[in-house]
């Protein structure tokens, strides 16, 4: 990963969760081509390579991020093939 990759991924979630509304808006992205699902991929990858203490700390943050992401998205049954990429890719945002 590149320097500050975890901080950058966390900032994408912070930005998304600050947006108004019950559901995350699919038409609003942090930056073109950089969805929060991509940020979640980056955090998952970081979890595989962090030392134990940092992994525990990030894991606590991820649990809260995942809970909020799941609360603000809906299941997308047509994207079930994305499950292997990460459960967060099987969720949809409001258009």
Residue 73 DSSP one-character state: S
Mean pLDDT (whole number) for 46-51: 95
- 61 closest CA partner among 75, 44, 48: 44
- At 83 the pLDDT is 65
Secondary structure (3-state) at 79: helix
pLDDT band (50, 70, 90) for residue 41: very high
CA dist 87 and 67 (Å) reads 12
Provide the percentage of residues in the chain whose pLDDT is more than 70. Answer: 86
Token pair of 29, please? 């992205």
User: Does position 33 have pLDDT exceeding 60, yes or no?
Assistant: no
Task: pLDDT band for 28, please (50, 70, 90 cuts).
Answer: low
3-state SS of the chain: helix, strand, coil percent to 5? 65, 10, 30
Report residue 94: phi and psi, to 5°.
-70, 145
User: Does pLDDT of 71 surpass 90?
Assistant: yes
Amino acid 82: pLDDT? 63
The pLDDT value recorded for residue 13 is 93
Torsion angle of C-alpha atoms 92, 94, 5, 46, degrees rounded to 10: -20
CA distance 95 to 85: 23
């Amino acid at each position: 990963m590149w320097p500050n990759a975890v901080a950058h991924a966390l900032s994408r979630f912070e930005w998304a969760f600050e947006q108004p509304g019950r559901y995350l808006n699919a038409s609003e992205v942090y930056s073109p081509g950089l969805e929060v699902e991509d940020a979640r991929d980056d955090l998952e990858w970081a979890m595989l390579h962090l030392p134990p203490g940092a992994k525990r700390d990030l894991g606590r943050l991820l649990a809260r991020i995942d809970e909020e992401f799941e609360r603000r998205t809906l299941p997308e049954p047509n994207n079930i093939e994305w499950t292997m990429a990460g459960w967060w890719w099987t969720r949809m945002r409001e258009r």
